[in-house]
Amino acid sequence: MTQSSENQPSVESAPGEESLSPDSETPKRGRHSASHARGAHGSQPQARRSFSSLFHREKSQVTIGDVRYYDGAELSRPLEMPSRVRVVMYAAMAVAALLGALFLFNYFDSMMNEPLRQQQTLQENLTREVSLDLPSLTKLMPRSDEKIMAALQKNDYTLYERTPIGTDPDGGFEVIKLPADVSLEEAGAMYLKGVDKLSAADAVKLLKGGWTLTVSRKNGTSMRLRYADFDSGTIEKAVQNAMAAEGLENATVEDSGVDDSGNTYQTGTVTDKKDRTYTWRVSVIELSEVYDISGLPNTAYFVGIRFSA
C-alpha cells in the first residue's frame, strides 16, 4: 500500500538552504560544495608543517573561549635536542673535524717536511751526471749564423732558440743548450716563469749541464758563452776550467783581476790555425749575485766566456 504524496509530511527547507528534490540527480551548489572547497584548500599547509616539524615540536595548548593557553609542562621538561637535529649536528661536526685534520696535516707537512724534500731534491740535482759539452768558440768565430747553428744541431743537443736566426736585422742570434735530462717543454715553462722565481732545486736542474750562446754581428763579431758551474768549488778553479774548455790553458794572460761588478776575470788574445786573432775574456762571479734564489750552494758560480774580433 502506497502513501500518496498529498498525505506525506512536508519538509521545509531551512533558511539559507536549497531544497533537494527526489528527482534531481545532481545536488545544487550549497554547503557540501563549500565544505569540499575548504577541505581542498586546507590540505596545502601540510608541506610547511612537515618541514618545520624537524626543528619544532607541537606544543600542548588549551583553548577556553577566545583565549588560548599553552601547557606549562613544556617549560619543565628536559632541554633535549630533537633526534633528527642531533644527527645533522653530529654529521656536521664530523665533517668539520675531518677538514680540520686535513688542514693541519697539510700545514705541518709544508712547514716541516717540505724543506727537507726540497733539500733532498737539490742534492739529487747537484750530484746528477750531465755533460756540459761547451762548444769551441775559436772554431765557431769565422762561421756564419746558419753554419754555427748547423754545427750545434749535429751534436744532438736539445736547443731552445731564444732569438732565432733572421730576427735581428744586424744578424746574430741566441740559443740555449738544455741539460740532457730536461725536456724542451719543461725548460720553456721554467724560463717563462723566470729563473729568479724558481726554487733552488729547480734552478739547479735547469742550469746544470746547460749553457747560453749569444752571437752578435754589431761592430764586428762577438760571441758570449754563459753557464753555471756547480763542480769547480772555487772561483779560481772555475776560471781555470773555463779556459781549459776553450783551449786557453796555455794562452798568454794580458790582464786579470776583479772588475767593478765583482767578476774575477782574465783576458788575452788567441790565434787560430789560419792566423786569425781573437780577443778573449773569462769572468766568474758567485751565482747568487746573478740569480736571487734562496738555497743555492755557496760554491756555485756564473761563468762568462767572450770572444770578439
Query: Looking at residue 200, what is its pLDDT?
Result: 93
With beta carbons less than 8 A apart as the criterion, state whether 139 and 155 touch: no
Question: pLDDT digits over 11-34, tens only?
Answer: 444 444 444 444 444 444 444 444
Are 279 and 255 a contacting pair, CB within 8 Å? no
pLDDT of residue 60: 65
Q: In whole numbers, what is the pLDDT of the chain averaged over residues?
A: 81
Interval 168-197: pLDDT, tens: 988 999 999 999 999 999 999 999 999 999
pTM: 0.65
